[in-house]
A and B are shown apart, each in its own frame.
Chain A
């Protein structure tokens, strides 16, 4: 693992709805102070995984098995009361759409203060002072005035900053950010992600950044875990991953991603396509990517491949690649 101590260890996590598994036993680590990106397309289970880490599952979903070890404690097995003390305090969550995650009828200053009062013993006045500090920290001008305003008085980027203020209020060790900038304009996205990154360094937090945007991964993450159809396809440091992605799916994603630094244009270059769609993974007994993969061997259709190391802290779930 990276030189920092491991903060979060996910082992064989299985999550699903009713009787159906959606996340089929995934595992990855997050070290203290690093940004780990969890990447995948829609339906791969990344958001479900993120919620499962804090046991904040939607109605009808449950954890079938596995472990989530946070600083040594298994959150899957822990009592609900322990989880409630951890949420917002040691692990916090930033969601995609701040308009629905902020209470529209309460002033934002009050919402941030609520988090402080719940988890830290401080007086209301102390909490209010801290709220103003936090608002300045996240770059909201005129904090005194704005703390009394409501979410609809803020633009999308500002609302997301408020969410970040709430998330870091209690000094968490880990912040889980689920597509925090997908709903924002690209110039605002850059500001918000820069802010999150700066806070991570200043406050020594780790960030689990869930996204589908490879550009975001390249610019702000230290390590990346690629998910496909509920399984981990590849996991490793960002540099080697982008230089040479090992899993065929990851290669396809990078090839399809137009945002590379070259000046590719349709007149000179065709985008790499991954044929078919994710739905074909559902019936597959072996590797879920096999129906779309250009390099399958017989072993691929028999059982899902295990993650094997292929480099320094770099693992791939692909027997073909591992053999190289």
Chain B
């Protein structure tokens, strides 16, 4: 559930984000890339995080991985706040959540063999026996659909799709519970996307994983996620389960987004996009979407909308939705 106060009978979420803020200093001013985001990821759930460029979804993913320091808020991993932990306290917890990166060509160290790449995390996390490391690496390589001979090779010998499999293997080798996928298929060809998505589905089922799936590609998120969270300029504007979001989008931005996605069906008529001015200055006090919103009222300038529940598991941050 994404209400700030979870109900008593739902099991505790695996990871819970409360009012997270990540701020950059840009030219003397503070820029809130992530501006007060709250949501949960339950065990065994795939949460899709969508938004366009500048919405902060990638920054959010990196903040969760503690690659960036949050400037405010909590990240509760099984109830324990990891937002403020220093790196040495964080280390033992890191094996519980890992990340898959977007660019298969930049996410693997070109000078390391695949075997070394996959064994090092085990070494760092205390698996002393070389034989055990070997066994676990072989197991994971097989699980992602690569042959054992891959271990002696270097990344440049593999195609984009294969490298992404290696990236997934690296994320899995520590047996995490949560995988944050940052645009994992965006850089891949369509036919390879299907392979990787199917792999991720299989892995989730076989290993009981939870995913936070960050993507700008709504079609992919619609297929892959259980629940979807829509972000705009650092804030959550709507969240719902996948069927509800497409059936009943409430937030004007969500509607705009869904209308814009080209569907591979020429029979579907296109409504022309409303001409909207491009986003300008940061939001400040009011709603971050007001400059582009067809329903904007004076109230939207002064008061940022709070998230309201409009249905089971469905919240919207809009005064009028």
Residues of A within 8 A of B (CB): 41-42, 139, 141, 155, 157-158, 185-191, 193-194, 212-220, 238-239, 242, 252-261, 263-266, 270-275, 277-279
Contact = CB atoms under 8 A, between A and B. Distances in A.
B195 A273 contact: yes
Given A41-B191, A253-B190, A271-B198, A216 B53 contact: no
A41 B189 contact: yes
B215 to A, nearest CB: 11
A113 to B, nearest CB: 24
B256 interface: yes
B246 A263 contact: yes
Given A186-B52, A258-B220, A214 B190 contact: yes
A271 B192 CA distance: 11
Contacts of A263: 222, 243, 246
Interface residues of B, number: 44
A190 to B, nearest CB: 4
A45 to B, nearest CB: 14
B263 interface: yes
Which of A139, A155, A277 neighbours the largest number of chain B CB atoms within 10 Å of its CB?
Answer: A277
Given A42-B189, A190-B273, A277 B161 contact: yes
B148 interface: no
Contacts of B268: 218-219, 261
B321 interface: no
A133 B51 CA distance: 34
27 contacts: A155-B278, A185-B216, A186-B218, A186-B261, A187-B52, A187-B260, A188-B52, A189-B260, A191-B275, A216-B262, A255-B194, A256-B191, A257-B219, A257-B264, A258-B193, A258-B197, A258-B220, A258-B222, A259-B262, A263-B246, A270-B201, A271-B194, A271-B198, A271-B223, A274-B194, A275-B195, A278-B189
Interface of B: 52-53, 159, 161-162, 189-195, 197-198, 201, 216, 218-220, 222-224, 242-243, 246, 256-257, 259-268, 270, 272-273, 275-278
A215 B224 CA distance: 18
Contacts of B52: 185-188
A252 B257 CA distance: 27
Contacts of B277: 141
B243 A215 contact: no
Give the top 3 A-B pairs by smallest Cβ distance, nearest first: A215-B262, A259-B219, A256-B194
A259 B216 contact: no
A254 B190 CA distance: 9
B298 to A, nearest CB: 23
